[in-house]
Amino acid sequence: MKLRIGLLAALFVFTTSFLAAQDQPKIDSLFQVLRTSKQDTNKVLLLYDLSREFFNSDIERAEKYSNRALFLSQKLGFKRGIAMSYNNLGMINYFKAIYNVALSYHDRSLELMSEIGDRQGMAGSHNNKGLVYTQQGDYAKAIQEYLSSLRLREELNDQEGVGKSYNNIGSVYYLQGNYDQAKDYYNKALNILRQYPDQNLIAGIMNNLGIIFYEEGKYDESLDYHFKAKDIREEAGNQRGLAGSFTNIGDVYAAEESFAMALEYQEKALMIQEELGDKKGMLSSLQGIATVHSLTGDMEQALEYMEEVVDISTEIGAKKELRDAFNKMSTMYSKERNYEKALVFKTRYAEMKDTLYNEQTNELATNLEAKFENETKSKEIEILKGENRIQELQLARNRILIISFTIGLVLALISVVIYARINREKRKALELLQQQNVSIKRQKDEKEVLLKEIHHRVKNNLQVINSLIRLQCAYTEDQEALDLFDECQNRIISMALIHEKMYESSDLSNLNIKEYVSELAQNLLRSYRLNQHIELDVNVSIDHLSLDTLVPLGLMLNEMISNSLKHAFHNKKDGLITVKLDVLPDGMFDLVVGDNGVGLPKDFSFQSAHTLGMELILTLTSQLDGEITRLTEEQGSFFRVVFKGLEKERSDIKQAMLNEEAVVA
């Protein structure tokens, strides 16, 4: 059973209801009004409309204006504008294949819509969450969200919205292979939506029905529906939807062995997707072209296109598509009797299966990194549990250029200074490292797969960090905001050091915790460049911890030590920071972190502490299934965290891997 991009494109049409051709006169009119508008809620709505107009033609500009609308809404306290902006950003991140960030935005939008009593907005947020869960393959949650949306729309007598919900429920039944139920819901949607003017909705349903007939082997009926959908989308100027129709038509022609026609339509789809920057859609077209070349015996061309699928899947983090591409390439090499290559890609396929099982653990770290938000009232950067709220600081275009040039110049000067101070010992160490890299390349294929996976994970983290830097330096209004940006950079550098240590280990499942904590503390001390003499007392009796526990533990240590460095030693020439980690007799972990600094107020309590640091520490303590207390008998500020941790054997995954290896053998 194959799922093409056309189906998911139709799903999104029903979620957004604004995938249409760019209306240039309307855009010009919006810009003209925007130039003279005041900083009020009307300007928020103008920015929101601009984002929607650019959605189909320039996704980066759409994101830019959504962030500006979000920033202004937060400045004005306009909750509806904040919720609408979060909704837009969630949809934008969906098409950029950043699903965990999209879900975080929709969660926040739903929370605000519920708070202000906007039931129509609540229905839309439930619907959008269902779309993300559908893409992630969590069909039970997807159906739950779609039904919540359907109930709200029925209460509001929103017949058009009910039709959209029917379509999305039908799509989930399709993905589960229940074609009869899927067609039933699609036809219900058609009966309702034919009376409404938005033909893109009708095209989306026809596209979905065409996919079902394709899966059932009824190619004539499939082509009939796909060409009807294509004509509607072409007339409406819906380029993203048109590319999806071309891809699906190409699939049907390939199944009918009309290879020339199949190749023609797949290439048309690819051309449109490249212009739109729709990398998710490009994966489907490239695989379709590779399939045609494979069926015609041109295996060399087929493999070249599949290599491009692997590159794009790796770039956007589409792990399911990457896994399937490895499996397909293994099959192609087997047909060529190149069994050595076939085994390599089969092994990569098996490794990706394990990666997908660990998706939740990987997304935990990414979500925590992605949850930076600029609060203009409190003047500090916050990371919030289960959310991703990034405020974009407003800044004129000329100041953006000045800041970018200044940052580039500073980075260049720092690089020159660092290079000038490299001594002979470091050069020798670099040569030794290069020799070790050459030796690593000669190891077995299995070791190469593991190393590449490590590099892939590191790159994903760095991409998220770079995205955060780009968003937070986009706009600002005053010097205080620039100071906040410097503080944000220090925090990001500290987070990067954590990940660097994680991925230096050859065994990612068990890291040396004592070495890790020591280096983390030393790196933080160096990064703050304090003029005082600060000593570190690190006493760790635990040898190893798994990544499940180490990720939240590392973030907690980072925050506690950073708080001491920032606040504990004002007007003091020296100081001591203590970190102790032991195992209690009952198997619980005992963490003590503190300093001999100026201490906390006598009336301090966790309930009254509303700082970013304490909120993050309490959140991470909860994730580790632990409890935090303050040690008042110690001089300075000391905290004790007793936690259970998240150690797992993951025997189910190990058994699945053994079974897969048996099949390969």
Q: Could you tell me which of 44, 42, 46, 18 has the C-alpha nearest to residue 31? A: 46
- Average pLDDT on 327-348 reads 85
- What CA–CA distance (Å, rounded) separates 610 from 590? 25
Tens-place pLDDT, residues 600-611: 887 777 777 677
What percent of the chain is modeled with pLDDT above 70? 71
| Domain positions in the chain | 359-508, 526-649
**Which one has a higher pLDDT value, 8 or 607?**
607
Burial of 18 (0-12, 13-18, 19+ CB in 10 A): middle
Cβ within 8 Å of residue 473, ≥6 positions away: 393, 403, 404, 407, 485
- What CA–CA distance (Å, rounded) separates 72 from 393? 9
| DSSP state for residue 324 in the 8-state scheme | H
pLDDT at residue 642 greater than cutoff 90: yes
pLDDT of residue 640: 94
Q: Could you tell me which of 604, 526, 598, 529 has the C-alpha nearest to residue 569? A: 598
**Which one has a higher pLDDT value, 156 or 339?**
156
- What CA–CA distance (Å, rounded) separates 628 from 631? 10
Instruction: Decide the pairing of beta strands 574-583 and 533-540.
Output: parallel
- What CA–CA distance (Å, rounded) separates 330 from 347? 9
pLDDT at residue 16 greater than cutoff 80: no
- What CA–CA distance (Å, rounded) separates 145 from 123? 9
pLDDT at residue 1 greater than cutoff 50: no
pLDDT at residue 663 greater than cutoff 50: no
Q: Yes or no: say if 272 and 249 are a contact pair by the CB < 8 Å rule.
A: no
- Average pLDDT on 524-534 reads 77
Tens-place pLDDT, residues 169-193: 988 888 888 888 988 999 898 888 8
pLDDT at residue 361 greater than cutoff 80: no
pLDDT at residue 530 greater than cutoff 70: yes
- Average pLDDT on 442-467 reads 56
Identify the top-confidence range among 448-462, 523-537, 606-620, 634-648. 634-648
> What's the Cα-to-Cα distance from 513 to each of 268, 282, 541, 627, rounded to whole Å?
53, 42, 9, 21
Computed over every residue of the chain, the mean pLDDT equals 76
> What's the Cα-to-Cα distance from 210 to each of 220, 249, 432, rounded to whole Å?
9, 9, 59
pLDDT-wise least confident of 24-28, 430-434, 436-440, 586-590: 24-28
pTM, rounded to two decimals = 0.43
pLDDT at residue 490 greater than cutoff 80: no
- What CA–CA distance (Å, rounded) separates 344 from 350? 10
pLDDT of residue 648: 54
Tens-place pLDDT, residues 110-156: 999 999 899 998 999 999 999 888 888 888 898 899 999 999 999 99
**Which one has a higher pLDDT value, 606 or 540?**
540
Partnered with residue 575 across adjacent β-strands are 534
For domain 526-649, give the CATH number: 3.30.565.10
What percent of the chain is modeled with pLDDT above 90? 12
The torsion region of residue 77 among left (phi > 0), alpha (psi -120 to 50) and beta comes to: left
| DSSP state for residue 212 in the 8-state scheme | H
- What CA–CA distance (Å, rounded) separates 90 from 16? 11
The full DSSP string for 462-500 is HHHHHHHHHHHTS---SHHHHHHHHHHHHHHHHHHHHHH
Of the pLDDT bands very low, low, confident and very high (cuts 50, 70, 90), residue 363 is very low
- What CA–CA distance (Å, rounded) separates 655 from 201? 45
- What CA–CA distance (Å, rounded) separates 189 from 499? 48
**Which one has a higher pLDDT value, 52 or 75?**
75
- Average pLDDT on 425-452 reads 66
Cβ within 8 Å of residue 127, ≥6 positions away: 14, 15, 145, 146, 149, 164, 165, 168
pLDDT at residue 488 greater than cutoff 50: yes
Work out the number of other CB atoms within 10 angstroms of the CB of residue 605: 9
Tens-place pLDDT, residues 283-333: 888 888 988 888 888 888 888 888 888 888 888 877 778 888 888 888 888
pLDDT at residue 66 greater than cutoff 80: yes
- What CA–CA distance (Å, rounded) separates 451 from 434? 15
Of the pLDDT bands very low, low, confident and very high (cuts 50, 70, 90), residue 222 is very high
Of the pLDDT bands very low, low, confident and very high (cuts 50, 70, 90), residue 19 is very low
Tens-place pLDDT, residues 383-425: 443 444 555 555 566 677 677 667 877 777 776 667 767 667 7
Of the pLDDT bands very low, low, confident and very high (cuts 50, 70, 90), residue 658 is very low
**Which one has a higher pLDDT value, 9 or 347?**
347
From first CA to last CA, the distance across the chain in angstroms is 25
Q: Yes or no: say if 224 and 254 are a contact pair by the CB < 8 Å rule.
A: no
**Strand, helix or coil at 433?**
helix
- What CA–CA distance (Å, rounded) separates 336 from 289? 18
pLDDT of residue 495: 61
pLDDT at residue 634 greater than cutoff 80: no
Of the pLDDT bands very low, low, confident and very high (cuts 50, 70, 90), residue 279 is confident
- Average pLDDT on 570-598 reads 90
pLDDT of residue 594: 93
**Strand, helix or coil at 382?**
strand
**Strand, helix or coil at 118?**
coil
Alpha carbons within 13 angstroms on the beta-carbon side of residue 174 total 32
Cβ within 8 Å of residue 290, ≥6 positions away: 301, 302, 303, 305, 306, 309, 328
